[in-house]
Chain A
Amino acid sequence: MSTVDLTINGKAVSVDVEDRTLLVHVLRENFNLTGTHVGCDTSQCGACVVHVDGRAVKSCTMLAGQAAGCDVITIEGIANGDELHPMQAAFRDNHGLQCGYCTPGMIMSSIDIVNRYSGKLDEATVRHELEGNICRCTGYHNIVKSVLDAAGRMKVSQAAE
C-alpha cells in the first residue's frame, strides 16, 4: 500500500492503493469517475484515455503511483460547467458516437491530437493519429468528421481567449 497524491479534474486528492493498482482503477473505483472505460487488457483500445499533465495517456497502462504529483483530467473534467468542450459538441453534432463506450477515450485522444497539430489537421492525419483508439460502432467516418470539425472550433475558441 502507498499513498498517492495527485490532482484529478482540478481537485487535489490523496488515495491509498496497492502498488499494482492502475490509474484507471483508481479513477473508476476510488473516485467514481466511470466515464473512463476499460476495453482491453493490452493497451490497444484507447477506451481508457485521460490527460496526464496535458497529454493523452492510456490510464490502463499507468500505475496509480506513477501519477503521483500529476494533474489528471478525465472526460468528466473537460466541460466548462454545462458548456460542452468543443470536442464533445463536435462528436454530438457529427454523430461521432453510437454506443458511447469508446467515446470518452476517443474525445480525450482527439483533444490531444488537435492540440498537437494546431491548425494543420487533415483527414489522413486524423485517421493515422487515431490508431490507438478502437471504435466498433461508427466505422470512424463520423469520428474523423467530428475531430476535423472540433479542430476548427477549438482554434476559434483558443483565438478568442
Chain B
Amino acid sequence: MGVEGIGASVKRKEDRRFITGKGRYVDDIKLVGLTHAHFIRSPHAHARVKGIDSSEAMKMPGVVAVLTGQQIVDDKVGNLICGWAITSKDGSPMKMGAWPAMAPETVRFVGQAVAVVIAETKNQAKDAAEAVVVDYEELEAVPDIRAAIKQGAPQLHPEAPGNVVYDWHIGDEAAVKGAFAKAANVVEMDLTNNRLAPNPMEPRSAIADYDTAEEHYTLYTTSQNPHVARLVLSAFYNIAPEHKLRVIAPDVGGGFGSKIYIYPEEMVALWASRKTGRPVKWTSDRTEAFLTDHHGRDHISKAEMAFDKDNMILGLRVKTHANFGAYMSLFSSAVPTYLYATLLSGQYMIPAIYAEVMGVYTNTTPVDAYRGAGRPEASYLLERMMETAARQLKVDPTELRRKNFITTFPYQTPVIMAYDIGDFGASLDAAMKAIDYAGFAGRKAKAKSEGKLLGIGVSCYIEACGIAPSKAVGSLGAGVGLWESAEVRVNPVGTIEILTGSHSHGQGHETTFAQLISERLGVPISQVQIIHGDTDKVQFGMGTYGSRSLAVGGAAIIKAMEKVEAKAKKIAAHALEASEGDIVIENGEFKVAGTDKSIALPMVALAAYTAHNLPDGMEPGLKETAFYDPTNFTFPAGTYICELEVDAGTGKTSFVNFVAADDFGRLINPMIVEGQVHGGLAQGIGQALLEHAVYDTNGQPVTASFMDYAMPRADDLPSFQLSHTTTLCPGNPLGVKGCGEAGAIGASAAVINAITDAIDNNKLEMPATPNRVWHAIHGKAQ
C-alpha cells in the first residue's frame, strides 16, 4: 500500500472547502434574473380543490406568476412515477394512483402543493402566497395503516380499491406450514417499525434555468442521482428532451435516501422557468422538508419463528403491512418487498421462510427508501425475534444466534439472496470481546444490588449492498439496470481526472476514488480530480444509494483504469524498446521488469497526446471508459452490542457502551468507513430512542419541525467502539462490500434488545422514549 493508496486513512481532499465555508450547495447559487418560488400547500390531509383565486396575489409587489395544478396538467407535464413494478399474489399489477406534480383536483396529504407563486424575491413570493385563496372541500382522511384497510374506509385513489397498493408474497408457504407443524417451540411477536423523517441537514433545493434561445434547460438540484433525474424528467415527465436538459447536483448536504427520488418541486421549477422565461429557485424550509421529503420505514408486522427441540430454526413466517403514504414514490414499491423480505433470513440457516407484504395508501407524506431501505426493517424484526426467542427458550442470545449461523458459503437463502461470503462468528466474537460480554452478568448483578437496571442487547445484521445486478433487478420488476460507469482521463501532463456516475453527498468520494488511482498508478491524490454530479460532464450513471458507490462505481473505475494501464504499457514498451509483457507499474513509473529502464507516467501521457512516437496503428490519447454491472449484491454483515442503563424512576436510558464489529470486505479508507458507521449508528439509535414522524387521527403531522421531531444530538449518543473483521467480497475487483447503511441497519435492535433486557419485558416499541419505557417498567400499556 502506498501512503495514499488502499487501506490508508487519508484526510479528505474535499474538506478544505467545507471547513472554510466554500462548499457549493444549490441554495448558494445565484443566477442573473433569478426568481423565487413559494409553494402553496394543502393544510388538509384529504380534500377536494374546488377553486384557486390568485387575482389579489397577482397584484402584489414582485409577483411574476401564480401557477396552478390545473395548468401543469393542461401543459401535459407527466404524473410522477414509481420505477419498480410489483405483482400481487393473485398476479395483478400494483395499483398506481395518479400523482400530478401539483394537485389539480384532490390533495391527499398535508403539504401537497396545489399552486406556486413565482416572484422577484423569496419574501415577495411568500407574501403573495398569503393572498392566494384556495377553496377546499375537506374529505375524511386515513393516516394509518389499520384505519386505511378497514371496510368502508375513505378511498384515496379510484385505481386502488381498499387502499391496497399490492398484496405480495415471497417464499414457500407450504414448507413453512410444515416447519411449524413439527416445531417444538414457536415464538411470536407483533412489531412496529416507526416512521422516520430522513432530515438531511441541507434542505432540498432546486434552481431551474430555461434558455429560450437554445430551448435548453439546466437544473441544479440536491440529488443523489442526477442522471436518473434527467432520465426520468425527460422520458416520463415530458419536461424536456434528454439532450436539452442538464442536471447538476453540486455539493449536497446529506441525502440518506431522501434525495434519490424526483420530487414535484424540481418538475415545477423546470416547467415554471420555461413558462416565465426566468430562472426559478426553490429552497425548502425545514417544515416543508418534514411535510414533503419522503419518509422512511412505517411497517407493522406479525412474525412467528419455529424452533426444533435443539433450538435450531425450522421456519419463519412474517406478515407485514407497509405504509406508502399518499402516492407511490420512485423506488418505494421495492423497499418493503425486494429490499426487505429478501433479507429475512439474516445471518441464519432458516430452511423455510414465507413473507407476505401488503402495501397500503394513507393520507400521509409518501414513504420511500431511507438509510438502509428495507434492510433495517428486516434486521430489526429478525433480531428482536432472536432475542425474544432466546429469552423464551432460556438460552444465551449469543449462543442461540451462533448455533443457527450460516457457516458455509455460498449460501442460497429461501428468499432469493445468495450470500457469497461471510464469517458471522468472527464478528460476534469481536463484539463480545470488545464489550466484555462474559463479564456482563457480574456487572448486571452489581447494578441490581445498587437498584439500577442494566441491560445488554445484541444484533447480528446482514444487508445486501452494491445495488445492483441489472439482470437480477430487471427480473424482479425494476425499470432500470443498476450498473455504474467511469471514465479515466490521463491528461497530457500526467494529472488524472476520474468521471464517475456515482454521486458524493458526504461519503468522501473525492478522496476514496483518488486513492484507487494512487494505489495503482503511484500518483499523489492531489493530482487526481474526481468529477461527478453533472450530466454534461459525466455521460451516464446511476447515483449513490444502497452502498453502491465503491462496490459498483469503484469497480467501474478499476475497469476503466485497467484499460488505461494496458494502453499506457504499450506506449511505455514502445518508448523503452521493451516487450509489453515486461512492463510493470511501480510508484508512477513504467519499468522494464528486472532492469533499471523506466519511463514516468507524465512522459507516457505526453507521448499519448503528442502522438509523435506511438506504436503503429495506435490511436492518440489516454482516456478510457468502462461500464460495470455487478453479478451479485455484496453482503456486509456484523454484530452490534450495546450495554445501557435504564432509570426506573424516569424511564430514561443512558449508554454504558456501544460496540460495533463489521465486515465490509476491504477498507479503502478506514477513517471514512468508520465515519460512515458512526453516522449510521446515530440514525439507528435515533430511531430506537427518539425519532418518530407522528400524525394525528385527521392526518395532521404533529412532528413537522425540530421542536417536535427529536433528532439525536451529541448528548443523546455515546462514543462508539468500532472494529472490523474481513472476508473479501469475491464479486468485485476491489473485494469491497459497502458500509454506508450498516449502522442504521444493525443499531435499532441492539438498543431495544438492551432496554427490554434491562426492564425484563420483551414488549416495547420504538422509539423507546422515557415515557414508553417508564410505562413498560411500571406495567401500564402505552
Contact = CB atoms under 8 A, between A and B. Distances in A.
A61 interface: no
A99 B253 contact: yes
Nearest to A47: B201
Given A84-B20, A138-B678, A139-B720, A98 B506 contact: yes
B713 A130 contact: yes
Interface residues of B, number: 58
Contacts of B202: 37, 39, 99, 101
Given A18-B123, A35-B22, A84-B20, A98 B508 contact: yes
B199 A136 contact: yes
Nearest to B25: A101
B285 A37 contact: no
B506 A139 contact: no
B563 to A, nearest CB: 32
A95 B11 CA distance: 7
Contacts of B677: 139
Nearest to B251: A100
A62 B302 CA distance: 50
A130 B743 CA distance: 22
Contact of B21 (A35, A45, A137, A142): A35
B25 A37 contact: yes
A36 B27 CA distance: 11
A161 interface: no
A33 interface: yes
Contact of B711 (A37, A93, A130, A134): A134
Interface stretch (A51-59, A64-72, A73-81): A73-81
B706 A34 contact: no
Interface in B698-737: 705-707, 711-715, 717, 719-720
Given A139-B679, A142-B675, A123 B719 contact: yes
Contacts of A7: none
B675 A138 contact: yes
Nearest to A89: B19
B705 A44 contact: yes
Contacts of A136: 199-201, 254, 256, 679, 682-683, 711
B16 to A, nearest CB: 7
Interface string B4-43: 0000000110111111111101011010000000000000
A92 B679 contact: no
A137 B506 contact: yes
B672 A134 contact: no
Contacts of A75: 19-21
A5 to B, nearest CB: 22
B740 to A, nearest CB: 10
Interface residues of A, number: 54
B220 to A, nearest CB: 14
Nearest to B507: A98
B115 interface: no
Interface stretch (A102-110, A114-122, A151-159): A102-110
Contacts of A102: 201, 253
Contacts of B672: 95
A127 to B, nearest CB: 4
B15 A100 contact: yes
Contacts of A32: 30
A8 B668 CA distance: 42
A153 to B, nearest CB: 14
B505 interface: yes
Contacts of A135: 201
Contacts of B441: none
Interface in B177-201: 199-201
Nearest to A94: B671
Nearest to B289: A40
Interface centre among B15, B16, B28, B200 (most CB of A within 10 A): B15
Contacts of A28: 28
Contact of A42 (B23, B199, B676, B707): B707
B471 interface: no
Contact of B505 (A36, A88, A99, A126): A99
Contacts of A128: 714-715
A123 B720 CA distance: 13
B15 A40 contact: no
B199 A140 contact: no
A6 interface: no
Contacts of B201: 37, 39, 45, 47, 99, 101-102, 134-137
Nearest to A98: B506
B71 interface: no
A131 B567 CA distance: 55
A24 to B, nearest CB: 11
B52 to A, nearest CB: 25
A38 B283 CA distance: 10
B397 interface: no
Nearest to A103: B18
B671 A40 contact: no
B173 to A, nearest CB: 41
Interface in B218-268: 251-254, 256
A134 B253 contact: no
B533 interface: no
Nearest to B715: A127
Given A76-B21, A134-B711, A136-B711, A92 B254 contact: no
Nearest to B682: A139
A130 B200 CA distance: 18
Contacts of B251: 99-100
B512 to A, nearest CB: 12
Nearest to B371: A136
A136 B30 CA distance: 26
B409 to A, nearest CB: 31
Nearest to B677: A139
Contacts of A23: none
B742 to A, nearest CB: 12
Interface in B647-706: 671-672, 674-683, 705-706
Contacts of A11: none
B682 A140 contact: yes
Contact of A40 (B19, B679, B681, B705): B705
Nearest to B707: A42
A99 B675 contact: no
A36 B676 CA distance: 24
Contact of A131 (B20, B254, B715): B715
A3 to B, nearest CB: 18
A31 to B, nearest CB: 12
Nearest to A75: B21
B203 interface: yes
B15 A142 contact: no
Contacts of B714: 126-128, 130-131, 133, 140, 143-144
Contacts of B412: none
A141 B25 contact: no
B705 A42 contact: yes
A93 B679 contact: no
Nearest to A130: B714
A106 to B, nearest CB: 10
A95 B506 CA distance: 11
A142 B705 contact: no
A95 B720 contact: no
Given A37-B25, A44-B705, A45-B201, A139 B254 contact: no
Contact of B678 (A38, A41, A104, A142): A142
B203 A144 contact: no
Given A40-B285, A95-B11, A136-B254, 13 more contacts: A37-B202, A76-B22, A84-B20, A92-B12, A95-B12, A98-B508, A99-B251, A100-B19, A102-B253, A104-B21, A131-B715, A133-B714, A136-B682
19 contacts: A34-B27, A41-B286, A42-B286, A84-B20, A95-B12, A97-B15, A99-B251, A101-B201, A107-B19, A126-B714, A130-B714, A134-B201, A136-B200, A136-B256, A137-B679, A138-B675, A139-B677, A139-B743, A140-B678
Please list the 5 inter-chain residue pairs (A to B) with the smallest Cβ-Cβ separation, ordered nearest first: A35-B21, A100-B18, A101-B253, A99-B506, A139-B678
